[in-house]
Amino acid sequence: MSGHRLHWIAAAVAVVSLAAAPGGPPREAAAAPAGKLEIFSWWTAGGEADALNALFGLYRKRSPGVQIVNATVAGGAGTNAKAVLKTRMLGGNPPDSFQVHAGHELIDTWVKSGYMEPLTGLFKSEGWDRAMPRGLLEILSYQGQIWSVPVNIHRANILWYNKKVFSDNGLAPPKTFEEFFRAADALKAKGIVPLVLGDKEGWEAGHTFETVLIGTLGADGYRGLWTGKTSWTGAAVTRALETFRRMLTYVNSDHAALTWDEAGQYIIGAKGAMLIMGDWTNGWFTSKNFSGYGWAPAPGNEGVYDALSDSFGLPKKARDRENVMAWLRLLGSREGQEAFNPLKGSICARTDCSPTPFSPYQRWAMQRWRGDAIVPSVIHGAAASEGWATEYKDALALFVTSRDVAATQRALQKACVNAGVCK
Amino acid sequence: MPGHAARPAARRASAQDWAVGAAMVAPSVVAVAVFVYGFVGWTGFVSLTRWNDVLPSYAWAGWRNYVDLFQSFRFRIDIVNTARFTAAFLAGCLGIGFALAVLLDRGLRAEPVFRTIYLAPLAISFIVTGVVWRWLLNPGSPQLGDVGVNLLFRHLHLGWLRAGWYTDPRIGILAVALAATWQMSGYTMALYLAGLRSIPDELREAARVDGAAEWQIYRQILVPLLQPITLSAVIILGHISLKIFDLVVAMTGPGPGFSSDVPAYFMFDTTFRGNHFAQGAAIAEVLLVLVALLTVPYLVYSTRAEVER
C-alpha cells in the first residue's frame, strides 16, 4: 500500500517537474490532481470495453494521481444501466460522469430537470466548436448551451449487403425505393431473402423505419418531425408507412425470433441480401471473419448522415469536478478520439482525426461526416425524449404485425402530442 | 397461601414473555409495514399523480393514468395475453401434474427416479428456461432450415406440426405458457402426489369392495378429496402467471405485435425506458388488484377453515 503511494507520488512529481521544465508548455494542473474519477457506462465487453480502457490508459498518463472507478452495468443495450443511473441521479449520488446518448436522451431527461452543468465554455476554450460539425453541435445544444462531450459517432442509416449475392444477380446497391423494390423482386424470385430483419428486441423495426422516413421526407423534413415543423398526420408520413409496409413483405419469415445480429447470419450465409442497420454491423461482420460485405446509404438516404453519439457530461453534484473536467478534455481531444474510435468501431466526432488507424468502412464514413447533412437518430436517443422514443418504438413494433397504416399514423401523432411537441 | 403468591409471579412471567415476544416480532412487523405496505401505498399515490417524467411531480391527476392505461393498445393486448397465458398455464400444469401424480402413485418401481426427473425443472431459473425454449421453439426458415422442435417434427415425419411458435402472433404467449408449463408441472405433480398419499387406502379398498371401477374411484372419491390441493395449486400457479416477467424477457421479449407482451414487461419498459413513472405505478396497482382477487378469497377461506378446526 505505502509502496503504491510512493509510486504515485513519484509519478506525480515527475509530471510536475516535466510541466515545470523550461520550454515546456505551461500546464494549468500544476498541482497534481488526486482523488477519484467514477465513470459510469454500459461498455462491458469486446471492442467497447477495450476502447474505454484505452481512454483510461491515456487519462492515467495525464492525471496519474487519480484513481479511476469503472462503474459499468451490463446488458440490454444500456436499458439496465439507464435504470441504475436514474436511481443514482434522483437519489443525489450521481457518478462523476456517465455515458449517455447525445441529444434529447440527455437533454429531456437530465438537462431540463436541472441535473447538468453546461459545457459551452469548455467547447470554446478547447476549440471544439470549430473541430466538430455544426449539425452535431445543434444536436448537443439546448437553449443556446452545449451539454455533453461526444466521444464517438455512429451512423444508423446504412444498407449492408452481400457483395457476391449482388454481383451474381447483376445488381447494384439500390439508391431509391424503386430500385430497392426492383432488386428485391429479383432476389425473391431466386429464393434469397431480399431484406433481412431481426426484431426480437422491439427496436429494430423502428430503426429501419427511421431510414424510410429520412428517405421519404429528406433531411429537413425528417428533422422537422421532432421539432413540430413537419406534420405527423401529413401525406408524406403516410407514404413512408406504405413504403415500409411494402418492404416488410420482403423480410425473412423468422424475423421475430432473431436479434439483428442473428439475422445478419443470413447475409454471411448468402441466404439474404440486404440489412438496414447501424455501423456497429461493421465490427460484427469483422468479428465473424466475414469480409464479403458492402455498404451504401439506405435507399433515399444519400447525403444524409443519421447520427447517434455516445457522450459524457458533467452532473451538478459530481464529487470530483476537476477530475471530470480533465476527463472531458481528454474525450474531446484528438488524441482521445483517435485512441477510442478505432477500437469501438465508430468514427471521431471531430473532423480532423487521422484516417490511418481506421478500417475502410470508417474512412468512408469519416469522409461523409464532413460533408453530409447531419440528422439525429430517434431510436438511439438523439432526436426525441425517452418517453417519445419509447412510444415511437412501440407503434412501429406493432406495425410489423398489424400493417395498419392509419392506426400507426394515429399512434405516432399521439406520441408527438404526449411529448408536448404536437398539438 | 403458596398458591396465592404464585399467581402474580406467573402474571409477571407472562407479561415478560409478551414483551420478549413483541420485541422479537417488532423488527419484522416494522419492516413489513414500511417495505411492503408502505411502498404499496406509495405506489398507489404515485399512480394518481402526473409523475410522467424523470423529475417527480406530485400534481394530482386523479384516475387519468388508469384511463390512459386502459386506452393504450399495448396494455389492452397485455391483458388479453395474461388471460390466455393463465388459462393455458393452469390447464397445462394441473392436467399434466395430476396425470403424472396418478401414474407415479400406481406403485412404479423406479418411482423416486421419475419423481426427481419431473421435479428437476423446478430447480432451474426462469431465465435459463427462457433461453433454452427460445432455441427449442425457434421457427427456423426456408433459407436456413429447421431447428429445434420443428426439426424434430420433420425427422418424425410430422412436418405438418411445424409452427412459427412465438413468432406467430396467433400463438405468441402460448409458446411462453408451454415453457412455463414444462417448468412448473413437476411441482404440481409433487403437490398432487402428496395429496394422493395422504388419502387412506381404506377408502379406495372400500370403494373397490363396493364394486367401483378404477376410474370411478378417481372421479368420485380421489378428485373431490384433492380439491384443497387443486385450490392451493391454482393460487400458487395463478399468481406466478399474473406476475410473469423473467421468462418473457429471456424467451421472447414483447414479441411480434406484442403477442407475448405482459403487463409486468410493459411496466418495466414504460417506467425505466419511457420515464412514465405514474403509468408504471398504475400498472403495478392493476397487477396488485388482480393478484389480490385471486389470493384474498383463498386466504379468507383457509383462515376460516383453521378457525373452525
Ranges of H-type helices in A63-203: 79-90, 104-106, 120-126, 128-131, 134-140, 163-168, 177-189
| Collapsed DSSP state (helix, strand, coil) of residue B97 | helix
Averaged pLDDT, B57-81 = 93
Q: Assess if residue B51 is contained within a domain.
A: no
Query: Which range (A113-122, A288-297, B140-149) has the least confidence?
Result: B140-149
Contact check, Cβ <8 Å, A390/B270: yes
* Pairwise CA distance, residues A378 & A386, whole Å: 9
| Collapsed DSSP state (helix, strand, coil) of residue B155 | helix
**How does pLDDT run across A217-269, given as a tens digit for each residue?**
999 999 999 999 999 999 999 999 999 999 999 999 989 888 899 999 999 99
The CATH number linked to B89 is 1.10.3720.10
Task: Note the pLDDT of residue B307.
Answer: 73
> Which residues span the domain enclosing B79?
74-308
**How does pLDDT run across A160-182, given as a tens digit for each residue?**
999 999 999 999 999 999 999 99
Q: Which residues in chain A are closer than 8 Å to B274, comparing Cβ atoms?
A: 386-387, 390-391
Task: Give the total number of structural domains in chain B.
Answer: 1
Q: Assess if residue B117 is contained within a domain.
A: yes
| Collapsed DSSP state (helix, strand, coil) of residue A281 | helix
Q: A201: which 3 cell numbers?
A: 428486441
Q: Assess if residue B91 is contained within a domain.
A: yes
Averaged pLDDT, B33-58 = 92
Closest CA to A174 of A161, A164, A165, A188: A161
Task: Note the pLDDT of residue A75.
Answer: 65
Pairing of strands A304-308, A154-155: antiparallel
* Pairwise CA distance, residues B79 & B68, whole Å: 14
Residue of B nearest to A77 (CA): B273
Pairing of strands A272-277, A158-162: antiparallel
pLDDT bracket for residue B7 (50, 70, 90): low
Q: Which residues in chain A are closer than 8 Å to B276, comparing Cβ atoms?
A: 387
Rounded to 10 deg, the angle between the B39-46 and B277-308 helix axes is: 140
For chain B, which residues lie within 8 Å of any Cβ of chain A, measuring from their own Cβ? 52-56, 73-74, 134, 138-144, 164-167, 169, 252-259, 269-270, 272-276
Closest CA to B134 of B162, B165, B110, B98: B165
Q: Assess if residue B26 is contained within a domain.
A: no
pLDDT tops 50 at residue A28 = no
Q: Assess if residue B179 is contained within a domain.
A: yes
The mean pLDDT value of chain B amounts to 89
* Pairwise CA distance, residues B260 & A180, whole Å: 32
Residue of A nearest to B257 (CA): A398
Q: A140: which 3 cell numbers?
A: 448537443
Q: Which of A113, A202, A271 sits opposite B55 (nearest CB)?
A: A113
Class of A33-152+310-357 in CATH? alpha beta
Q: Which residues in chain B are closer than 8 Å to A202, comparing Cβ atoms?
A: 253-254
**How does pLDDT run across A91-118, given as a tens digit for each residue?**
889 999 999 999 999 999 999 989 999 9
**How does pLDDT run across B194-243, given as a tens digit for each residue?**
999 999 989 989 998 998 888 888 888 898 999 889 998 999 999 899 99
Q: Which of A193, A257, A387 sits opposite B275 (nearest CB)?
A: A387
Contact B49, B237 (CB under 8 A): no
The one-letter amino acid code at B106 reads: R
Residue of B nearest to A85 (CA): B272
Q: Assess if residue B139 is contained within a domain.
A: yes
Contact A291, A220 (CB under 8 A): no
Contact A355, A363 (CB under 8 A): yes
The mean pLDDT value of chain A amounts to 90
Contact check, Cβ <8 Å, A387/B276: yes
Q: Assess if residue B196 is contained within a domain.
A: yes
Q: Assess if residue B83 is contained within a domain.
A: yes
Contact check, Cβ <8 Å, B274/A253: no
**Count of other CB atoms within 10 angstroms of residue A407:** 14
CATH code, A155-307+375-418: 3.40.190.10
Residue owning grid cell 455516445: A310
pLDDT bracket for residue B297 (50, 70, 90): confident
In b/e form, how buried is each residue of B140-175, taking b as 16+ CB within 10 angstroms? Answer: bbebbebbbbbeebbeeeeeeebbbbbbbbebbbbb
Cα-Cα-Cα-Cα dihedral sign, residues B261, B265, B266, B272: negative
A196 DSSP β-pair partners = A275
Distance from CA of A106 to the nearest CA of B (A): 11
Every domain of chain A and the residues it spans: 33-152+310-357, 155-307+375-418
Q: What ipTM does this complex have?
A: 0.71
Averaged pLDDT, A192-217 = 94
Instruction: Report the share of chain A in percent with pLDDT over 70.
Output: 91
Q: Which residues in chain A are closer than 8 Å to B273, comparing Cβ atoms?
A: 79, 82, 386, 390
